[in-house]
């Protein structure tokens, strides 16, 4: 497994909603990717200050745990769509406790089933979020901001190879999709209670 795929301060990423997970996986496996992991359960815990200062600045702070791989990460995204840094940590519970001590609070928990593959310099994730759907993310990380336009083109070419069309591109983050689902659930429940 090459950790260089996850090094850098910038990440170019395209996310696609999958109508046919099996067909996408067949197209991906036809490219003979390197497999990092398959079908890990991943929990993302999103934190912010009580006044949501990070969200106002376009930033996200996430503690991620993955099972059975045992990977634990501290992730900061933003500001801006391409800014992303992650570092391995050895104790997610201790990191969470430290955040609580500094008056951060958990705003959201996202659970997904994730597989990660490498195709050249690209990493491809295949995700399933219960109640939301299946997604493919194509990404490249770098410290060289000047290379971002070239990497965008590489990822779009890979998307085409994998049969992913622009009309299936999902521009909303998992955080946004999960929040929208929670709001819809809250709206539906009172109506159902009167039936």
Reported as a single tens digit per residue, the pLDDT across 26-82 is 999 999 999 999 999 999 999 999 999 999 999 999 999 999 999 999 999 999 888
Domain-located, residue 195: no
Give the domain CATH number at 50.
2.40.320.10
The pLDDT-based confidence of 1 (bands split at 50, 70, 90) is: very low
Domain-located, residue 132: yes
State percent of the chain over pLDDT 70: 93
Domain-located, residue 50: yes
Reported as a single tens digit per residue, the pLDDT across 9-31 is 888 999 999 999 999 999 999 99
Q: Given the residues 16, 46, 117, 174, select the one marked as catalytic.
A: 46
Question: How much is the pTM?
Answer: 0.86
Domain-located, residue 69: yes
Reported as a single tens digit per residue, the pLDDT across 82-116 is 899 999 999 999 999 999 999 999 999 999 999 99
Task: Give the range of the structural domain holding residue 135, as residue numbers without chain letter.
Answer: 3-190
Domain-located, residue 102: yes
| Strands across the sheet containing 10-18 | 10-18, 133-142, 122-129, 105-119, 34-48, 60-67, 72-77, 84-88
> At residue 191, does pLDDT exceed 80?
no
**Overall number of domains in the chain:** 1
State yes or no: is 117 an active-site residue.
no
């Amino acid at each position: 497994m090459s950790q260089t795929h996850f090094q850098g301060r910038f990440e170019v990423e395209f996310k696609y909603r999958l109508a046919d997970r099996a067909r996408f996986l067949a197209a991906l496996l036809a490219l003979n990717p390197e497999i990092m992991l398959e079908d890990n359960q991943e929990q993302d815990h999103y934190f912010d200050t009580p006044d949501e200062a990070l969200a106002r600045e376009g930033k996200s702070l996430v503690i991620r745990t993955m099972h059975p791989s045992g990977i634990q990460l501290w992730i900061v995204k933003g500001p801006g769509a391409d800014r992303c840094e992650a570092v391995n940590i050895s104790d997610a519970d201790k990191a969470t406790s430290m955040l609580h001590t500094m008056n951060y609070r958990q705003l959201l928990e996202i659970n997904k089933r994730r597989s990660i593959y490498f195709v050249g310099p690209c990493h491809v994730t295949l995700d399933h979020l219960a109640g939301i759907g299946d997604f493919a993310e194509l990404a490249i990380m770098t410290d060289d901001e000047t290379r971002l336009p070239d990497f965008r083109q590489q990822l779009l070419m890979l998307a085409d190879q994998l049969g992913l069309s622009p009309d299936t591109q999902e521009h909303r983050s998992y955080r946004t999709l999960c929040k929208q689902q929670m709001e819809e659930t809250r709206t539906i429940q009172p109506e159902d209670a009167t039936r």
